[in-house]
Amino acid sequence: MTPIPPPEDDTLRHHSFDGIQEFDKRLPNWWLMTLYGAIIFWVGYWAYFQWFHVGLDGPQEVTREMSKIEAARLASAPTTDNASLWKMSRNPVFIEAGRATFNTLCASCHTEKLTGAIGPNLVDQLWIHGGTPTEIYTTLEKGVLAKGMPAWVPVIGAKKSAEAVAYILSFHKEGEPIETQAAWIPQAPK
Amino acid sequence: MSDQKITIEFNDKVVRQFLLASVVWGAVGMVVGTLVATQLNYWQANFNLPWLTFGRLRPLHTNAVIFAFVGNMMFAGIYYSTQRLVKARLASDFLSQLHFWGWQLIIVAAAITLPLGFSRGKEYAELIWPINIAVTSIWVVFAVNFFWTLAKRREPSLYVAIWFYIATIITVAMLYIVNHLSIPTSWLHSYPVFGGVQDALVQWWYGHNAVAFFLTTPILGVMYYFLPKAAERPVYSYRLSVIHFWSLVFVYIWAGPHHLLNSALPGWLQNLGMTFSLMLWAPSWGGMLNGLLTLRGAWDKLRTDPVLKFFAAAVTFYGMCTFEGPLLSIKSVNALGHYTDWIIGHVHGGTLGWNGFMAAGMIYWLLPRLWSRPLHSIPLANLHFWLGTVGILLYVGAMWTSGITQGVMLNATTEGGTLLAYPNFLDTLNTIRPMMLMRVIGGLLYLVGWFLLIYNLWKTIATALPVNGTIEVFADEGVTAHEDKITLVGTFLNPPVAFSILGVGFSCAWMFGGDFLSIAGMFGLLLCVVLAYTHFESRGKNWATWYDRLLVNSAPFTILVVIAVAVGGLVQIIPTVLVDRAANVEDRRQLPYTPLELAGRDIFVSEGCYNCHSQMIRTLVPDVLRYGDYSRLGESIYDHPFQWGSKRTGPDLARVGSKYPNIWHLRHMEDPRSISVGSNMPNYPWLFTTPTDVAALPGKIAVQRQLGVPYPAWTDAQIAADFNQQAKTIAEDLQTAGGVIAPDKQIVALIAYLQKLGKYETVAPLTSAAR
């Protein structure tokens, strides 16, 4: 190949391979610093996690984080026994909050009037999965996956779920009869 | 030296063959790639046909572009450059032809078996065992042909390109053989010998280094030959070649576990994977620097020469990807990017940018040299370049946006961090739809560019004559002087090698030794660094002289390469394989599959479900909130192959068992959108009509027992009875819920398997993690 004058006073190595020649330029400092920096980081990182065991490993870390979340949930979780849920169902603040949740998430199947369409009617006295407040809450907790009812508590949390139950209960009275219904025949929403 | 000159004609025929094969298979691989990209956004493009579904075609795409496209391109480049760099014709015309035709036969076999659903269920290692044996044999043919040529060389000293070729041949053989160890259950099916975490570690040691030693090192070698040739400039720095070659081949091997960060993989392996990935950054950029800086003084040629345009862009993409790789290996970044499209973008920056553009540059440069005609059209080649570049940028940009968006959405929490902000996986999937479409467009542009290359190639060679290169040499040229010979002892007893071995030894003692050994190792390492530095400062000339001598000794050079690439794998894999499997389970051990569930699992593997669904809940809060308690080592201990997955186009399945009723799965597999509105999963109608292969089960269970899965000594009749009983129970349950299906159909087995996922027995926790 035709030798082009090198831009700097480089020395070429004496050897050439099929016409390919090689300079022997020194390694750029920033490149060396990157290499050395990564090596020093390795020593420090390994010492922190594996030698002195200061850093937590993945399972320890996630267990700690999850217990914090668990604690936060427990601290803010509403009580979901029958008496408390009935009490919430008479409180306008809870009913309003429950209405908002219900209309966004539940009304597409149960309708805004709660009279049922794809999912069952929630204002009559017929219940498939139990009609006590706790049983209704459990249905939200576990879902009825076979019928397309999702488990809502893990998704929207205990507070919003309890509010939605309170909203449903606001259409009912404590002590009214609870009758068992075998199944709901889905109807197209009107 | 005698004055007698002889003329050697190079074997350029096989170069032409490999080049044309690469062009054709490249087109096939990219067409399939565009199809699978389309399927991700438009499920209808799966056509409800088994052999056209994403799960079967994605392995075809990856195998085609890696082994068929880049493989053939690499062979063309290696054979062309090696003959010239060592001044010798390829050792054997027969082996060259055997290599070529054997490789093409393997590709055809892969193209037939993968769409038919014959798969080992491990990424880039899906091909069934008879093909594995063929690949290994042909690779040996390649190795013999190559090293035999080296033995007959007339150029005593090995050029840097040859170093990279040697590393490629050695390492790919090592990786391929270990990761394909399996026990056959039939001519078309086998189980890998490793299971669970062992299989995961071996797989990603292979998967990561397939990228390194199949897609990177040979192409770096190709770069070191073709780039200075095309630029007509000397290589920037020889000493940079030396440093970055050895650091690259040594460090690369250790970085495999970065594919398993935040998983159930033991912490020490994850920490090795992350730190070595960061240490890989500089060695990788050494290659980029030597490529780009070789173009100093030739930048003006980029305006006119499409070859240099392709090379310069390819090396730039290489630099971009090898920065992105270490970045993604940082655990916290990985928590966001892993399982998302970001990884897909990262890979395609490398394959489309680095591999594809190096291939295009090399092909455009070779055409007028292998055939008697100049390139048909330079403007067309330039158009190819711009279409390709815009295509890559659209593709990679779309995948970055998509991956980061989906990662952020999946990890987002609300209500003080106690709830997921987007509990429905489909919300995150449907947010990135526009990006998925953009990827198809980017890919299409790139594909159109490739077809321009094919047209240009055809117009160039259609009426041209093949030309073989020749060289004049002295008859007795190239004999290594006796005083330059290095003995086996001399290979190791010299400052650079001795200090390196001591340094690695002390490092390992520090990392893995007990209290005392750790301190001794750290002390030894520091001492070793100081001594090596002092020695190099005072006697650095000796190091250089020794290396010059090493370069004329191909066998000692190869031995040192073998050691450099073997260390990382040995340190990581041997402890993991030797550890008592039954004890190394954390606190849980999975329940072995029943015959029906095992049959279902084989269907899961065969359909390639792992291409979109992971089975690994990471030790990360958003993963645990979404999918349940994090996955333990013991929960996949009997899985041959492991199915931890590498991408979540759909949700994780590690704990999907018992989450939904049987009928949910039946309806979902029949038409996913009837259950999950907006899903992009294909329909699987054939699972409802194809009977499960019960007859194969006794043979499969026998192999599972050989592999250490605790199956009782069932008779064939007991297996069949157990199978029928469970299938009947599921079919009856389905019928109650309104789904009528015969118990012998594949869907029943698949449901049984899915319902088993996440089932375990509790065992006493192990106090100290096994190292």
* Extents of the domains making up chain B: 5-465, 484-578, 588-762
Contact call for B276 and A42, based on CB within 8 A: yes
Considering chain B, what percentage of its residues have pLDDT values greater than 90? 90
- Single-letter code of the amino acid located at A124: D
Contact call for B415 and A18, based on CB within 8 A: no
SS3 content of chain B, % helix, strand, coil (to 5): 70, 5, 30
CATH dotted code for B5-465: 1.20.210.10
Contact call for A45 and B274, based on CB within 8 A: yes
**Taking the domains of chain A in order of start, what are their residue ranges?**
31-76, 79-180
Contacts of B464 (CB under 8 A, 6+ apart): B371, B372, B373
| Reduced 3-state DSSP string for B369-415 | HHECCCCCCHHHHHHHHHHHHHHHHHHHHHHHHHHHHHHHHHHCEEC
Residues B53 and B684: their CA atoms lie apart, in Å, by 9
- Single-letter code of the amino acid located at B685: P
Position A188 scores a pLDDT of 64
Q: For residue B603, which of B699, B720, B691 has the smallest C-alpha distance?
A: B691
Contacts of B33 (CB under 8 A, 6+ apart): B61, B65, B443
Q: How confident is the model at residue B580 (pLDDT cuts 50, 70, 90)?
A: low
Residues A11 and B239: their CA atoms lie apart, in Å, by 13
In this prediction, the residues of chain A whose per-residue pLDDT falls under 70 are 1-9, 188-190
Q: For residue A168, which of A74, A79, A120 has the smallest C-alpha distance?
A: A120
CATH topology of domain A79-180: Cytochrome Bc1 Complex; Chain D, domain 2 (1.10.760)
Residues B202 and B196: their CA atoms lie apart, in Å, by 10
Position B766 scores a pLDDT of 52
Claim: this prediction has a pTM higher than 0.90: yes
Q: Which residues does chain B have within 8 Å of residue A59's beta carbon, measured at their own beta carbons?
A: 586, 619, 630
CATH topology of domain B588-762: Cytochrome Bc1 Complex; Chain D, domain 2 (1.10.760)
- CA angle centred on B559, ends B554 and B564, rounded to 5°: 125
Q: Which two tokens stand for residue B146?
A: 């190559």
Output b/e per residue, B456-481; b: 16+ Cβ within 10 A. Answer: bbeebbeebeeeebebeeeeebbeee
Residues B742 and B728: their CA atoms lie apart, in Å, by 8
Mean pLDDT value across residues B460-483: 87
Contacts of A74 (CB under 8 A, 6+ apart): none
Contact call for B268 and A50, based on CB within 8 A: yes
Strand partners, B184: B190
From B574's Cα to the closest Cα of chain A, the distance in A is: 19
What does each C-alpha distance from B640 to B583, B683, B708, B711 come to in angstroms? 18, 26, 10, 14
Contacts of A128 (CB under 8 A, 6+ apart): A120, A180, A181, A182, A183, A184
Q: Which residues does chain B have within 8 Å of residue A51's beta carbon, measured at their own beta carbons?
A: 510, 518
B155-196 residue pLDDT tens? 999 999 999 999 999 999 999 999 999 999 999 999 999 999
CA dihedral of residues B505, B507, B511, B512 (deg, nearest 10): 0
- Single-letter code of the amino acid located at B333: V
Q: Which residues does chain A have within 8 Å of residue B237's beta carbon, measured at their own beta carbons?
A: 22-27
Mean pLDDT value across residues B523-527: 96
Contact call for B283 and A12, based on CB within 8 A: no
B711-768 residue pLDDT tens? 999 999 999 999 999 999 999 999 988 899 999 999 999 999 999 999 999 987 554 4
Q: Which residues does chain B have within 8 Å of residue A72's beta carbon, measured at their own beta carbons?
A: 416-418
- Single-letter code of the amino acid located at B113: T
Residues B768 and B331: their CA atoms lie apart, in Å, by 23
Q: Which two tokens stand for residue B636?
A: 């996949």
Per DSSP, the three-state class of B419 is strand
Q: Which residues does chain B have within 8 Å of residue A22's beta carbon, measured at their own beta carbons?
A: 160, 234-235, 237-238, 241
Q: Which two tokens stand for residue B294?
A: 């070789």
Query: Residue B601: is its pLDDT beyond 70?
Result: yes
Q: How confident is the model at residue B581 (pLDDT cuts 50, 70, 90)?
A: low
Contact call for B247 and A35, based on CB within 8 A: yes
A104-156 residue pLDDT tens? 889 888 999 999 888 899 999 999 999 999 999 999 999 987 777 888 988 88
Considering chain A, what percentage of its residues have pLDDT values greater than 70? 94
